[in-house]
Structure 1
Amino acid sequence: MALGQANENYYRFIDSADIHIDHNTQKALSFLDSIPKPLEKNIEGRLSEYYSIKTLIHDEYSEYSKMQQSIIFTLKYADKEENYQIAGNACLNLFSNLYFVSKDTTAYNYLDKAIEYYEKCNYANGLLEVQQMRAYAEFLDHDYLSCINLLLGNLDKFAKVEDNQYFNLFANYLLSSSYFRLGKYEKAHIYFNKLEALQNAPGVTDYNYYSFVSTLKMQLAKLHFKSNALDSTLYYLKASKKFASYMPENILKDYYRLYADIYKASGDIKNSKAYIDTLMEIDKKSYKSNVEASILINDSLLKAETELAETKQNNMLSIGLIIIFSGVLVVLSLLYFSFYKNQIVKIVEQGKESSNFSYLKTNNEKLAVKVHGLEEYIKNLKSEIREISSTKNTETQKERIKSLYKNLHIDSSTLLNKSENHLELVNDLNIEFFKQIEERYPSLNKSEVIICYYLFMGFSNKEIAVFLNVSVRSVESKRYRISKKIDFNKDETTLVNHLQETFGNI
């Protein structure tokens, strides 16, 4: 009886967090943090609600690694508790993270799973949300006509959900944004006006409303800047200023970047630099938050994966969740790779020149502390790397590195399930390459730089696809984009030859 009463008291914390989540995230978090451990005992039967609120909190704080962890726990407990509405919501979030991050078309299985959950609980709004998610996927794939057609066919249904006009808000946002990108400004403004009319509608929070409005105004500002209409650009930038606190991180970056570009175009280098400095601070803060989150949740992810594997071995959904974990770990490896490059810059700035191997050894030792059960593996790996790094013949060294890559891939079934992706350990053998290519071609993003390195080392498209766990078509697509960004005579040489000729002295 006493246990039941205790649970009821802790349930009230969940209810209070749910009430405040849309208006005061910090307060909602404080209620959840007031629930003592173990959660499985103290809020039994409502764990899915707890983790669904946690997901929203991490999302607002841009803690994407922690958010992914909470989504997976949400689905795990929602399925167990037969809370099908929350389970469907979690499936939508998993689709979003899997498809929008890696463009993995298998993510659509989660949309189908979401429909199954929503149909079990007769949640009509959930089924509408699935349709919006499909339209949003088309939007992010730049197929704006398909997005528009999907939305127009359901627009009346969205508007009729009187108790939750968020569906209507989001539909009008996607329609106006799609028409803007297609250059059909008159139609775009029609839906933009409809969106603005929903400010105080039921189910529309200040955060959602202002983030959509700020995004659209910034989109208009960028369109005018491309047309060299600086006065109009400034008009929409100033109109966006009051929404700055509601801007998603990527839109806030666009806001500061656009101001920097305008001042640069007008010759005001001092103000341009001030906005660039602010932009760098945002990047630094975001990067630090994600790296810290990736380190903190590593053990939790591995624990959750083990639980899922043990309790749902014959459940296809469980298999899908394990695939998601692998994707998360790949993302974490990229974060660590970014961390290493950041440390390289600091070393250069401080004038502390050191050998590539000593730098790699330091990072390997740090990684060994974070990852349990891999000490012996990393010890052997470092010995092999030390031997490779001492090889004076460049061609021999490259061949041995390539062989080491392949050995790492053979071990990946163990490595990827128990720790981060270790390919970055080998990347650090050629630190100078990454430094020089980023200086020479700053327009390349991180994934494109890594592709360039693999090509420079002599790997084929198929081998690169295996190492990066992507499709060959994805590699080919990235090679095409790289060729567009890198300026070289494409009639006389290939991308691979250009990279080897340009960086062959490294």
Structure 2
Amino acid sequence: MNPPFFLTTIAFVIYILAFLLLGFFVHKLYKKYYKKQHQKIIKENLRQLEIQKIQADKEVIRLRNEKLSQEIEAKNRELAISTMSIIKRNEFLRSIKKELKNTNEIDETNPVFKLIEKNLNSTKDWDFFREAFNNADKDFLKRAKKLHPDLTHNNLKFCAYLRLNLSSKEIAPLLNISVKSVEIRRYRLRKKLNLPHETNLTDYILSI
């Protein structure tokens, strides 16, 4: 009597082939799964590296900006100190000149007066101030000249002092002129810049 089909040699061969085929497909599925997982890990690592790079770039920019701010602050302090030292020195010289004029012993032909005038009108003060000003507010004078080509050297000097938001009283000793003369210069500069009545001169200079 012949055995049932499921116990025959052919059936066993089919079982073995089916088992091998199933093993092959399971292996393929696991291989595909692990490959997908591997790619996912790589992608996640790349994403983390990108995030770290962005954070590092942000930190570099922050440190660079912080350094730049510190440099600007230092230059502004230097400018403020140099400006105030010139103001105070000129005020002191003018007060000495005034006191000397009130005495009958010395007249304006005296060499002392000439020495005071020479120091009050010294171009070295402006050169020193301009260097500090250019370090703190780079290219302002160039921008002002480009916008208003007819501005003279003295106009630009006056603009630089206005840029610091100095009052007429503070500007006067820098230019060795009276406060009233500073106000006249303000008026003339407004006309030269063709500013409308409602525009504040200092605000406009600050906006350049």
TM-score, length of structure 1 as denominator length: 0.20
Q: Which has the larger radius of gyration?
A: 2
Q: With structure 2 as the length reference, what TM-score do the two structures score?
A: 0.45
Q: Of the two structures, which has the highest relative contact order with CA contacts closer than 8 Å and spacing of 6 or more? A: 2
